[in-house]
Amino acid sequence: MTLEGLEHIGIAVSDLEEALAFYEEAFGLKAESIVALEERNVRVAFLPLGNTKIELLEPIGEGALSRFLERRGEGLHHIALGVSDIHGSLERMKEMGIRLVDEVPRPGAEGGLVAFLHPQSTRSVLVELCEETSL
């Protein structure tokens, strides 16, 4: 498994527009895309930052993210690591006994494939693996 870099850092927010206004005003960062993931009940915005990005995630209904916000409030939600071979990486994680949230990669908000590792196995940090796939 080869890590290609820190793909993005995910931050849970309760109001995406307010958060976007803050990031623009405070840091001059602007969203390159805003996507609604209906099946996960989240809306996400990606803000490019150097060779990585900040992903702001807002719940648009009941789900894992709304529960996270109820329990812990706004804040750091996950880190996303870029990998070259997500299927091989997941196999390796499984062999190591790492608990997976996604046994099978799923389409990511920006295209490509993503899979989450369970924080129980990763020192309490939700880790997303991302593979950019060319169409």
Binding site for Co ion (CB under 5 A): 10, 55, 80, 128
Q: Which is nearer to Co ion, 99 or 106 (CB)?
A: 106
Assigned token pair, 92: 């390796």
- Closest approach, Cβ 116 to Co ion, in A, equals 9
- Closest approach, Cβ 77 to Co ion, in A, equals 8
- Closest approach, Cβ 33 to Co ion, in A, equals 13
- Closest approach, Cβ 74 to Co ion, in A, equals 16
Q: Which is nearer to Co ion, 55 or 58 (CB)?
A: 55
Q: What residues form DSSP beta bridges with 43? A: 36, 58
Q: Which is nearer to Co ion, 6 or 98 (CB)?
A: 6
User: What residue type is 20 in one-letter code?
Assistant: L
Q: Which is nearer to Co ion, 93 or 97 (CB)?
A: 93
